[in-house]
Amino acid sequence: MAPRKVRLVAGLVRKSSALVAERQLLFLNKAAARPVLKLLQSALANAEHNFKLSKDTLWIKHISVDGGMTIKRSRPRAHGAAAPIRKRTSHITLKLSDEAMPVKEKKTYKPRFKKSKPAVVETKREQVKVEVAETVKSEKETNE
């Protein structure tokens, strides 16, 4: 499977709990989800059997998808020509961790500029309205 397709799935489960990632991959409607799910299940089984770790505490610390070898085939085209077909393969690297997941601190955003005083804008508009109203009144008085 092409690395570009598998990276979409890998990005979805990156930095998440192993059990949550397994559930997501199980119901994900992408063909690349199946090999990633198979790899995750294998890694969980290895961690549980070889290192005596609990599945509940494991999370995906690192997952990367690199391009593997490209199998070259050809497809017949018009006038006896052949067009190349590149069947791409992927190498997926997965690292699980049982350490506590790092908690991201929420960023606080400071306004870049001081807010302008909206009252000033409204007073200018009101002044314009008052001036217009005064001119209308004066025109009515001169007409009478």
pLDDT in tens, 37-53: 999 999 999 999 999 99
- 119 and 65 in a common domain: no
- 89 and 118 in a common domain: no
- 69 and 20 in a common domain: yes
Domain count, the chain: 2
Residue 11, pLDDT above cutoff 90 = yes
CB 16 within 8 A of CB 59: yes
pLDDT score for 133: 66
Q: Is residue 68 part of a domain?
A: yes
Q: Is residue 108 part of a domain?
A: no
Report yes or no on whether pTM surpasses 0.85. no
pLDDT in tens, 60-91: 999 999 999 999 999 999 999 999 999 999 99
Q: Is residue 103 part of a domain?
A: no
- 119 and 92 in a common domain: no
Q: Is residue 120 part of a domain?
A: yes
The residue segments making up the domain with residue 117 are 113-144
- 121 and 84 in a common domain: no
As given in the structure block, the two tokens for residue 129 are 């309205």
Residue 93, pLDDT above cutoff 90 = yes
Alpha-carbon distance of 71 to 87, in angstroms, equals: 5
